[in-house]
Structures are given as C-alpha cells and as structure tokens.
Amino acid sequence: MKPMHTMERILVTGGAGFLGSHLCDRLVASGADVLCVDNLFTGSKANIAHLIGKPTFELMRHDVTFPLYVEVDKIYNLACPASPVHYQHDPVQTTKTSVHGAINMLGLAKRVKARILQASTSEVYGDPEVHPQPEDYLGRVNPIGIRSCYDEGKRCAETLFFDYWRQHELRIKVIRIFNTYGPRMHPNDGRVVSNFIVQALQGKDITLYGDGQQTRSFCYVDDLIDAMVAMMETRDHITGPFNVGNPFEFTMLELAELTLKLTGSKSRLTFLPLPQDDPRRRKPDIGAAREMLGWKPKVGLEDGLRETVNYFKRTLLV
Ligand code: NAD
Ligand code: UDP
C-alpha cells in the first residue's frame, strides 16, 4: 500500500447516504483515501458499515452548514436530503444545507485548492415546459412552494459554484442528477421507487399520486456513479452543468405495474392527491454528458428494479 500522504485524499459530503455510500465504495476501491462527512440526517452508518475499519476510509459526523477544516484534493458535495418527505420535514435546514453547505465547501476548496463537484438536480428545471430538458433550459420553479427549499437551494448552490469559478477560478464540476434508484435507498424516504417496492413486498396498497400519468426517467445507481466519477476526472476547464440520468421515460402507473410484475405482489393500486408543484414530466437530454464524458447509462429499468427488489427483500426480512 502507498503511504497515506501520496494517496489522493477525497472528501464526500453526504457520504453515508444512498448515492454517497456507493460513491465511497467506488473511491475506496480505486485506491483513494476517503473522508466521509455526514450528519446522519437521512444517511446511516449501516450504509457504510462495511467500509468502517478500512485504513483508507474515515467517517466524520459533521453538519456542512458549519465550516470544515480538512486537507483534501477533491470534494464531492452530496450533503442534502433528496426525498421530498425528508427535505420538507425541516425546509429551513434544507436551504441552509444547500446554500451554507455550498459556501463552506467552496471556501474549503478555495483554501486547499481542491477540485469540487456539486450534486445538483433536475429539480432546477422545476415543472418544465421544455421536454426533454437540455442544460440551457432555465426552468420553471415556484420560489414559494413546498418544494422550493430544495429547488431554490440547489439553484443558489449552482450560482455559488459558478461565481467561485468566475471570481476565484476554482475548478468546479456541476452535474444535474435525474431520479436515481437502487440498493440502499431508505425504505421510508417516500421516493416513488422505494415506496412502490416496499408496498409491493409488504402486500400494502401501491400509492399512486394524482392519476399516475406524470413521468420520470429513472437511472440505476451504478450508472450514476460512473458519470459522477467521470465528471470529476474531466479537464480543468470543463465545468458542466451536465444532465446525468437515463432518458427512458415512464409514467408512475407503468412503474407501479412493473413493480407488481417483478415482485409477484397482489397489492392493489390506490390513487391519492397529487402533491403541490409535482412536476408532470421529466426526461433528461444527456447529449452533453455523452459527448463530454463519453458516458451513457447501461442498466435498463427492469434490470435495475430487480436488483433493488432483491435488496429490499434482504433488508426487510432482517
Ligand atoms: P440521501 O438523503 O440518501 O443522502 C443525503 C446525505 O446527506 C445523507 O447521508 C444525509 O444524512 C446527509 N446530509 C443531509 N444534510 C446534511 C448536512 N447538513 N450536513 C451533513 N450531511 C448532511 O440522498 P441521495 O439520494 O443519496 O442524494 C445525494 C445527493 O444527490 C443530494 O445532494 C441530492 O440532492 C442529489 N440528488 C439525488 C437524486 C436522486 O435521485 N437520488 C436526484 C438529484 C439529486
Ligand atoms: N409518487 C407516487 N407515489 C408515491 C411516491 C411518489 O405516485 O408513493 C410520485 C410523485 O408524485 C412524483 C413521482 O412519483 O410524481 C416521483 O416522486 P419522487 O418523490 O420519487 O421524486 P421527485 O418528485 O422528486 O422526482
């Protein structure tokens, strides 16, 4: 093993969450020295339990709304609850996490001259009038609704990233992540994939909001991590923002039916009111990521869902 100081030191904020824990796995496996910073609001030690004890992995319990003084070469900034149920639970903290968190991590990157990647979101497009969404679409976001703490917080974080780039020549990378799913999603986090699978496995009604005709495009976690790492490794002048997701578009009704098929469940469908500001359609234009990262998603919805169903079967049974 190389001595620690010659290894690349990588900070992952939100590293104990769903995406962050998969990213930590990938970075540790690549031989990096990984510092996972998380306040464990929606993440858990269970997600990274298999990494604890490895000499190249460290967990620090810390809230990114407070300054952080560490020495690192690269920063992946993922800290922020991502499911509507969780980010709406304490909306003021959600905005603080995105905005103060970005300021603190950008300040850190500036001090230690680190590269920094922001996990932004398709929510910056709000409920879009342009379909599919290209990066130069400026979005249709309600600034005062129940999703605004997340959407506007993430938009402001992007503003901060690009101002640090223009003003301080920081090496920034911004990706806009579209709905991603896979093992280690929180079973109660309210996101549609985990909700439907858990409901199907427990024989409970499948809760479709609205008429179930709203669409999303679902990306399997492994594909997403490939793109995230590829983005970090691009040359200095490449900033993004790049959309990252799987462009195959499904209605929530189609997702419910596929989940029933894969689980063999007899659960019934039940229709509940559509939440406020719920986007009607969402599908990424991934032309820029294809061209600039040489990346495209490989895992289709049925294969990815099967893996996710197997994960929930294992975890719900223990
Ligand atoms: P997640 O909720 O599983 O992970 C977020 C992590 O951040 C958790 O471990 C949580 O404890 C931590 N965290 C929250 N507030 C914090 C704070 N103030 N200080 C330190 N840690 C904090 O969600 P995820 O799906 O893994 O999302 C990770 C990132 O990717 C988020 O920034 C999210 O906005 C972004 N994203 C995810 C998706 C998706 O579909 N999964 C889509 C778009 C964007
Ligand atoms: N949804 C649903 N039933 C659920 C959870 C979500 O029909 O039990 C819908 C939700 O209204 C939205 C879509 O599924 O239209 C995706 O919701 P999610 O919270 O996963 O992500 P986001 O809305 O942030 O894309």
Predicted pLDDT of residue 318: 65
Sign of CA dihedral 212, 217, 223, 224: negative
Q: Which CATH superfamily is domain 9-251+256-316 in?
A: NAD(P)-binding Rossmann-like Domain (3.40.50.720)
Rounded to a whole number, what is the largest CA-CA distance in the chain?
A: 58
| Among 88, 94, 252, 305, residue to substitute to test ligand 2 (most atoms within 8 Å of Cβ) | 252
Q: Is position 69 annotated as part of the catalytic site? A: no
Instruction: Give 199 Cα–ligand 1 centroid separation in angstroms.
Output: 23
User: Mean pLDDT throughout 169-181?
Assistant: 98
Cα angle 81-87-88, degrees, rounded to a multiple of 5: 170
- Per-residue pLDDT band for 189 (boundaries 50, 70, 90) equals confident
**Angle of helix 148-168 versus helix 91-112 axis, rounded to 10:** 20
The closest residue, in CA terms, to atom 28 on ligand 1 is 78
Give the nearest ligand 2 atom to 123 CA: 24
- CB-based contacts of 55, cutoff 8 Å, min separation 6: 1, 4
Instruction: Give 206 Cα–ligand 2 centroid separation in angstroms.
Output: 12
Ligand 1 pocket, residue 179 CB under 6 Å: yes
Q: Tens of pLDDT along 16-58?
A: 999 999 999 999 999 999 999 999 999 999 999 999 999 999 9
On the question of pLDDT at 3 being above 70, the answer is: no
| Among 11, 12, 13, 19, residue to substitute to test ligand 1 (most atoms within 8 Å of Cβ) | 19
29 in Cβ contact with 3 (< 8 Å): no
The closest residue, in CA terms, to atom 21 on ligand 2 is 191
User: Mean pLDDT throughout 209-237?
Assistant: 97
Instruction: Give the count of beta carbons closer than 10 Å to the beta carbon of residue 215.
Output: 17
Dist CA 62 CA 5 (whole Å): 23
Q: Which ranges constitute the DSSP H helices of the chain?
A: 18-29, 45-48, 84-87, 91-112, 148-168, 192-201, 221-232, 252-263, 287-293, 301-317
Q: Tens of pLDDT along 104-145?
A: 999 999 999 999 999 999 999 999 999 999 999 999 999 999
Which amino acid makes up residue 191?
A: R
Q: Tens of pLDDT along 250-263?
A: 999 999 999 999 99
Predicted pLDDT of residue 110: 98
Among the listed residues 150, 164, 181, 220, the single catalytic one is 150
Q: Tens of pLDDT along 63-112?
A: 999 999 999 999 999 999 999 999 999 999 999 999 999 999 999 999 99
Question: Which ligand is closest to the CA of 184, given by its number?
Answer: 1
Report the mean per-residue pLDDT for the chain.
Answer: 96
| Among 87, 214, 216, residue to substitute to test ligand 2 (most atoms within 8 Å of Cβ) | 216
On the question of pLDDT at 184 being above 50, the answer is: yes
On the question of pLDDT at 1 being above 90, the answer is: no
The model's pTM is 0.97
Predicted pLDDT of residue 31: 97
Question: Which ligand is closest to the CA of 270, given by its number?
Answer: 2
- Per-residue pLDDT band for 316 (boundaries 50, 70, 90) equals confident
- Per-residue pLDDT band for 6 (boundaries 50, 70, 90) equals confident
Instruction: Give 37 Cα–ligand 2 centroid separation in angstroms.
Output: 28
Predicted pLDDT of residue 201: 97
